[in-house]
A and B are shown apart, each in its own frame.
Chain A
Amino acid sequence: MKKNNIIIATVVTMITIFAIATYVYNTKQVETKTNLATQNSSALIADHSPRKGNPHAKVTIVEFVDPACETCKDFHPILKDLLKKYPAKINVVIRYAPFHQGSDRMVAILEAARKQDKFWDTFDLMFETQSSWAIHHQARPDLFWNILKKSNLLDLARLQQDMNDPAIIKVIQQDLADGQTLGANKTPTFFVNGKPLPSFGYKQLMTLVNSELAANY
């Protein structure tokens, strides 16, 4: 009996230590991430970044996003809802993090669509149809092209030409470099007024946005 108690005590101790270590590590990690974002606040927003909402809003959400990322697709309507709910109070800034194979070409489509003032429509369409062109974690711009053709959203001849603009490669490189500086190594990564999420999740994003709204308005 005594031996059995030793085993049980050992199990309980180990699990407790594991839980405490996890808590301590995560707390430290949030601190590090926040410091990283504060020290490199200039890397958060680039002049070239697409944005939506009120440019003078006091709450800015920066999203590092990959068009081929499924979780980014799930968060897209959430951001749209926030913009609809607080059109004057929120500004959303898009930074590219094309981690999936082929995603950089999807970004090129977005940047070229921007020249036709159709960035957000194209972005919406991309996420709505993501399952048809993002296959096995690989972005297939050719499949999305067919979707674009049917949608009549864009002047495709012009789009094709604009996609070859070498400035697009620079935009992607800058966004990737800034993402690395800020520790945005997963998508989507959010910064609300320069603050990272304490841990990833819908609730955490809403809590942070609401607390920033409350602090600024």
Chain B
Amino acid sequence: MNSEKQAKNQQWMYIFGAWLIAALSTLGSLFFSEVMELVPCILCWYQRIFLFPLAVILLVGLFPLDKNVVRYTLPIALIGLLFTVYHILLFYGLIPETMQPCTQGISCSDDSMVLFGFLPIPLLSLAAFSTIIFLLLKARKS
């Protein structure tokens, strides 16, 4: 009985952690676009598409705790991570210019992607998606 309760507690912590990061990232991303008026590039938009629902679905999975939420959110987070990795390769020039899909409109690889002069937004996205995935995997195992 007690160990089951403990396992549930742990699950809650992991899912809560994943939701916290998703919610913070969502608000942060909205702050960049709506308050600082940085226009999101196309790849940013794809990452946002797979980030925003996590903040909602994970929250639903916490009221009350439902382990199944991991099943539904993990694929979304993984797709988000794929876009992030692609964006990072592009940002650091590991994929040649000619291959990038966002030559029109807002560039995915210029200076506007860097916050406060040192923090690239794609790196923030990578940190967020990988931590969310890590926590969801932990929740699945516990």
Contacts and interface: CB of A to CB of B under 8 A. Distances in A.
Contacts of B89: none
A14 interface: yes
Contact of B31 (A4, A7, A11, A21): A21
B119 interface: no
Contacts of A25: 31, 35-36
Contacts of B36: 25
A21 B12 contact: no
Contacts of A15: 27
Interface size class of B (residues with CB under 8 A): 10 to 19
Interface string A1-32: 00110110011001100100110011000000
Interface string B73-91: 0000000000000000000
B108 to A, nearest CB: 20
Is chain A's interface secondary structure helix, strand, loop, or mixed overall? Answer: helix
Nearest to A4: B63
B20 interface: yes
A11 B16 CA distance: 12
Nearest to B26: A14
B35 A7 contact: no
A25 B20 CA distance: 23
Q: Which of A7, A11, A22, A25 has the most CB of B within 10 A?
A: A7
Is chain B's interface secondary structure helix, strand, loop, or mixed overall? Answer: helix
B31 A18 contact: yes
B59 interface: yes
Contact of B35 (A3, A11, A14, A26): A26
B62 interface: yes
Nearest to A8: B63
Given A25-B36, A26-B35, A14 B16 contact: no
Interface string B1-28: 0000000000010001000100110010
Contact of A10 (B20, B35, B63, B65): B20
Contacts of A3: 12, 16, 62, 65
A36 to B, nearest CB: 16
Contacts of B59: 7
Nearest to B24: A14
A22 B35 CA distance: 6
Contacts of B62: 3, 7
Contact of A18 (B12, B20, B27, B63): B27
Contacts of A7: 16, 59, 62-63
A14 B27 contact: yes
B63 A6 contact: no
A21 B23 contact: no
Given A3-B12, A7-B16, A21 B35 contact: yes
A148 B48 CA distance: 46
18 contacts: A3-B12, A3-B16, A4-B63, A6-B16, A7-B16, A7-B59, A7-B62, A7-B63, A10-B23, A14-B23, A14-B24, A18-B30, A18-B31, A21-B31, A21-B35, A22-B35, A25-B31, A26-B35
Given A4-B63, A18-B27, 11 more contacts: A3-B12, A3-B16, A3-B62, A6-B16, A7-B16, A10-B23, A14-B23, A22-B31, A22-B35, A25-B31, A25-B36
Interface of A: 3-4, 6-7, 10-11, 14-15, 18, 21-22, 25-26
